[in-house]
Structure 1
């Protein structure tokens, strides 16, 4: 048996722990593990007609290669957001240019090449670790006849079909730590602090981090907000605080009522611009409305930096072990998951069948802009 493995999308703490678990379990069964570097860009850049020159896109994984990798964050396989179904011609490796028909959107689908690479390398099962984009493409390969196993990871914890994704706990822990650290500077100057966190469509990270750090207000991606009303609330929060400061946490994907998401930079090859900037915009609006100076801080990549916490290590190793155990039983075409506190599997295409968002009625006060747990008994450990 030969297993392929890759990590796609954004990096999160815990990826190396998962890679190590898959490799060790597979090796115990006498299987070979081949890592593809840089997500889906790895197999796409591999040229079966030049295997020696293409070896740079692979990483042969064994016990020695993975011995210490779980002590670090990020991914030793590296990662990209490459989507083989929607490639721009000029982004293709030279040996692939001109070999695919352009779609109406001016992109090409390189899936036939991806499948050819797997066949050439003798890959029996592909293990893909990623978020919505990575896993949706894995499900497409499953429909094309490739045996795949998907493992969910994302700081936003927003992959549909699982209660938990690798990376979420560490991201929340980092956020709580930095939110509380900012209290010293914010309080010293009697200001309002605006802390922007990652969260494109789901505000669960901002919701839970603000809840645990006891921030005064939280603006989540699911609920458009009124800057004027938020300014009034924060001004009052500041006056009620003996140290004369206030804190608000905001998801990068948050929107002003009637407005759009804040983006910046040039669009990538898939037409997506980077989210971000809502924190600085909000800080300026709060200063105008209240006359109070603001501190704005985007935690951004600090949320996903460094080694994973114990929970992310545990789930990452659990998912990796589960994947290999199920493959050994002859089962593929699934995504590992946590459901109601238990390890489970769901069909690989479940991730594309719905949207996982904060249950606003159960966990958020949309008028007061802060977490509100309507009922604890019977609710999940994580607020989704």
Structure 2
């Protein structure tokens, strides 16, 4: 048996422990594991007609190669946001240019080449670790007849079908530490702090981080906010604090009422612009409306920098172990998941069958702009 493995999308803490768990379990069974570098760009860039020149896109994985990787953050396989179904011609490797018919949108689908690469390399099962984009494409390969196993990771915790994704706990831990640390400067200057966290469509990271850090207000991606109303609340929070400061947390995908998400920079080849800047915009508005200076801080990649915490180590290794155990039992075409506190599996296509967002009624006070846990009994230990 030969397994392929790759990591796609944004990096998160816990990817390396997951890779290690897959390799160790597979090695115990006498299987080989072949890593593809840089997400889906790895198999797309591999040329079966030039195996020697394409070796740079592979990483041969064994126990020696993964012995210490779980002590580090990120991914030894590296990662990209490449989507083989939606490639523009100029982004293709030279040997693939002109070989696919463009769609009406001007993109090409390189799936036939991806499948050819897997066949050439003798990949029996492909293990893909990623978020929505990576796993949606894995589900497409499953429909094409390739045996795949999906493992969900994203610090937004927004992959549909699982209660938990690798990387979420560490992102929350980093955020809580940063919010708490920023109280020092904010209080010293008697200001208002606005802390922007990652969270494109789901505000779960901002919600849980603000809840644990006991921030005064939290703005999540799911609920548009009224700047004047928020300013009045935050001004009152500041005056009620003997140290005369207030803390506000906001998701990068949050929007003012009647507005739209803040983006910057050029769109990528898939038409996506980077989200960001809503924290700075809110800070300016709060200063204008309250007359109080603000400190604005985007945590951005610091949320997912460094080694994983204990929970992400645990889930990453659990998912990796579960993946190999199920493959050994002859099962593929699934995504590993946590549901109701238990490890389980769901069909690989589940991630594309819905969206995972904050349950506003259960976890958020949309009038007060702050977390509100309506009922603890019956909820999972970590609420999410």
Q: Which TM-score applies when normalising by structure 2? A: 1.00
Match of 2:206 in 1: 206
Q: Secondary structure at the match of 2:129?
A: strand
Match of 1:347 in 2: 347
Deviations 1:17-69 (A, max 9, x none): 00000000000000000000000000000000000000000000000000000
Match of 1:230 in 2: 230
Q: How does 1:158-177 map to 2 (within 5 A)?
A: 158-177=158-177
Match of 2:67 in 1: 67
Question: C-alpha separation between the residues in 2 aligned to 1:11 and 1:359?
Answer: 26
Contact 1:25 1:321 (8 Å CA) reproduced: yes
Match of 1:255 in 2: 255
Q: How does 1:329-348 map to 2 (within 5 A)?
A: 329-348=329-348
Match of 2:327 in 1: 327
Deviations 1:107-165 (A, max 9, x none): 00000000000000000000000000000000000000000000000000000000000
The Cα shift of 1:381 comes to 3.2
Q: How does 1:32-71 map to 2 (within 5 A)?
A: 32-71=32-71
Question: C-alpha separation between the residues in 2 aligned to 1:170 and 1:254?
Answer: 22
The Cα shift of 1:380 comes to 2.6
> RMSD between aligned alpha carbons?
0.5
Contact 1:263 1:273 (8 Å CA) reproduced: yes
- Tell me the matched-pair count: 384
Question: C-alpha separation between the residues in 2 aligned to 1:382 and 1:200?
Answer: 22
Question: C-alpha separation between the residues in 2 aligned to 1:253 and 1:379?
Answer: 26
Deviations 1:221-256 (A, max 9, x none): 000000110000000000000000000000000010
Matched, 1:5 2:39: no
Q: Secondary structure at the match of 2:343?
A: strand
The Cα shift of 1:382 comes to 3.9
Q: How does 1:81-160 map to 2 (within 5 A)?
A: 81-160=81-160
Question: C-alpha separation between the residues in 2 aligned to 1:204 and 1:177?
Answer: 17
The Cα shift of 1:383 comes to 4.2
Question: C-alpha separation between the residues in 2 aligned to 1:84 and 1:379?
Answer: 39
Question: C-alpha separation between the residues in 1 aligned to 2:272 and 2:149?
Answer: 27
Contact 1:163 1:382 (8 Å CA) reproduced: no
Deviations 1:145-186 (A, max 9, x none): 000000000000000000000000000000000000000000
Match of 1:76 in 2: 76
Match of 1:178 in 2: 178
The Cα shift of 1:379 comes to 1.6
Question: C-alpha separation between the residues in 1 aligned to 2:243 and 2:376?
Answer: 31
Contact 1:204 1:383 (8 Å CA) reproduced: no
Moved over 3 A (4+): 381-384
Q: How does 1:271-350 map to 2 (within 5 A)?
A: 271-350=271-350
Match of 2:264 in 1: 264
The answer for unaligned runs of 5 or more in structure 2 is none
Question: C-alpha separation between the residues in 2 aligned to 1:37 and 1:228?
Answer: 48
Question: C-alpha separation between the residues in 1 aligned to 2:249 and 2:22?
Answer: 36
Q: Which TM-score applies when normalising by structure 1? A: 1.00
Matched, 1:368 2:378: no
The answer for unaligned runs of 5 or more in structure 1 is none
Question: C-alpha separation between the residues in 1 aligned to 2:25 and 2:380?
Answer: 30
Question: C-alpha separation between the residues in 1 aligned to 2:28 and 2:63?
Answer: 10
Question: C-alpha separation between the residues in 2 aligned to 1:347 and 1:255?
Answer: 33
Question: C-alpha separation between the residues in 2 aligned to 1:106 and 1:381?
Answer: 47
Match of 1:23 in 2: 23
Matched, 1:218 2:189: no
Q: Secondary structure at the match of 1:200?
A: coil
